[in-house]
């Protein structure tokens, strides 16, 4: 897939993908662009989380503040087309159906209260996982509250963080070990099993798995094995920790970064 950004093109190859995780290789970007993309995926992609909790009863051993924190960490699904960030909503942050969703709970012990016990005012906003423990109630204990969920960004609070993201440069590995008696030694040295025997030769069979620990280079010297980072190629690993799919987070971050680049270019144009 090719995406034009600021007049240039980058090439993206998806390596692995499911709803919650995606791994992809990007060619044609700088380290600064890669780092900006990572930061936006983590802290600037809007997600839904509990912001306010009004307790009517709390007879559990867990105090209100800790329970509120637990509720805020429960990832929630949502329709990204249906809700606005509070500051951008027509209600100007006062609270309405376009920017807030109510989640209520009423339970009496003895029982374990789970995220799946929350009753929502909107069918599209529900916990991603039903079995996240909230509190244990013993005989005679009750828990009753109303929680208000709204959109937010991870740069404001970790409960709105969209994903855990890591990236690394793609390595360029050249293996020039000719002595077959040394093959086993270098195969064992590599902790990621990147170096293997193919057609009676020692080769870097899985370069994308390389962490560039340089143990093989230290043993063989640069004449035997050479490992260098390709400056404009990166491998990203993205794990969703919210109610959005991993690929959706990547696309939203790319759109946000491209919009930011356009805004910056316009601002520069005004200075001329």
Q: What is the pLDDT of residues 8-50, one digit of tens each?
A: 578 899 999 998 999 999 999 999 999 999 999 999 999 999 9
What is the C-alpha separation between 39 and 41, in angstroms, rounded? 6
Split at pLDDT 50, 70, 90, the class of 183 is confident
In terms of Cα–Cα distance, which of 36, 49, 22 is closest to 242? 49
Q: Tell me the C-alpha distance between 191 and 194, whole Å.
A: 8
Six-digit token string for 178: 């000719």
Averaged pLDDT, 196-224: 88
Highest mean pLDDT among 168-182, 203-217, 242-256: 242-256
The 10s digit of each residue's pLDDT in 39-97 is: 999 999 999 999 999 999 999 999 999 999 999 999 999 998 899 999 888 888 888 98
Closest CA to 42 of 252, 259, 264: 252
Residue 127 CA to residue 49 CA, distance in Å, equals 10
Residue 1 reports pLDDT greater than 80: no
CA–CA dist 68, 55 (Å, integer)? 9
All domains of the chain in start order, with CATH:
2-44+164-238 (3.30.1360.10), 48-153 (2.170.120.12)
The band of 5, judged by pLDDT with boundaries at 50, 70 and 90, is: low
120-162 pLDDT, tens digit per residue, is 999 999 999 999 999 999 999 999 999 999 999 999 999 999 9
Average pLDDT over residues 261-272: 81
pLDDT in tens, 232-244: 999 999 999 999 9
pLDDT of 199: 85
Taking the C-alpha atoms of residue 236 and residue 93, their distance in angstroms, rounded to an integer, is 35
pLDDT at residue 266, rounded to an integer: 84
- Judge whether residue 7 has pLDDT over 60: no
């Amino acid at each position: 897939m090719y995406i034009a950004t600021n007049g240039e093109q980058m090439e993206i190859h998806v390596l692995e993908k499911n709803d919650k995780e995606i791994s992809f290789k990007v060619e044609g970007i700088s380290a600064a662009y890669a780092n900006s993309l990572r930061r936006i995926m983590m802290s600037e992609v809007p997600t839904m989380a509990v912001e306010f909790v009004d307790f009517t009863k709390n007879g559990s051993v867990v105090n209100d503040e800790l329970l509120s924190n637990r509720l805020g960490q429960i990832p929630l699904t949502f329709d990204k087309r249906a809700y606005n960030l509070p500051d951008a909503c027509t209600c100007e942050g006062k609270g309405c159906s376009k920017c807030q969703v109510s989640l209520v709970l009423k339970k009496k012990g003895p029982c374990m209260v789970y995220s799946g016990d929350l009753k929502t005012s909107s069918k599209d906003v529900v916990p991603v996982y039903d079995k996240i423990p909230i509190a244990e109630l013993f005989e005679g204990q009750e828990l009753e509250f109303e929680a208000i969920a709204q959109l937010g960004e991870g740069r404001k609070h970790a409960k709105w963080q969209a994903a855990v993201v890591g990236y690394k440069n793609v390595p360029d590995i050249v293996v020039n070990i000719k002595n077959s008696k040394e093959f086993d030694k270098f195969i064992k040295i590599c902790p990621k099993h990147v170096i293997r025997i193919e057609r009676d030769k020692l080769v870097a069979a899985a370069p994308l798995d390389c962490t560039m620990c340089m143990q093989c280079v230290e043993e063989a010297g640069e004449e035997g094995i050479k490992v260098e980072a390709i400056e404009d190629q990166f491998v990203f690993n993205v794990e969703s920790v919210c109610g959005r799919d991993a690929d959706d987070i990547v696309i939203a971050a790319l759109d946000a970064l491209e919009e930011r680049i356009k805004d910056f270019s316009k601002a520069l144009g005004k200075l001329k």
